[in-house]
Amino acid sequence: MTEFYSESNNGSEHLLNAYFTKAPEFIDPTDPEKGVTGNTLFTINERFTGMTSIQRHVENASQNDYFPKFAEILGNYGKVISIGGEIYHSIR
């Protein structure tokens, strides 16, 4: 992904930013003192310049050997999957 989105590949014309998170799942997110469930939540957050760039990304990613397994994991464990959502508010 780093090479695909490098400046020499015009990557900044497509991908604005990307980050991954890992956090414990809280029993009650509004009251962390109640403890955790034992589950781990992972997020993949990618912000593209538009739907054409998302389609380019998916087409490229789907050509990788790992993609069928990745798609299976998303299907089995993905709780919220959103593609092409619009940012309605940003602090930065």
- Domain range enclosing 58: 14-77
CA distance 31 to 10: 44
Specify whether the CB–CB gap between 24 and 36 falls below 8 A: yes
Q: Residue 22 falls within a domain, yes or no?
A: yes
Give a yes or no: residue 85 inside a domain: no
Predicted confidence at residue 83, as pLDDT, reads 87
Assess whether pLDDT exceeds 80 at residue 47: yes
pTM for the full predicted model:
0.77
Check whether 7 has a pLDDT greater than 80.
no
Q: Does some domain include residue 84?
A: no
Residue 45 lies in a domain: yes
Confidence check: pLDDT of 76 > 90: yes
Instruction: Check the CA dihedral 48-53-58-60 and report its sign.
Output: negative
Task: Give the pLDDT of residue 79.
Answer: 87
**Is residue 92, in this structure, part of any structural domain at all?**
no
Residue 86 lies in a domain: no
pLDDT-derived band at 92 (thresholds 50, 70, 90) equals confident
What's the structural domain count of the chain? 1
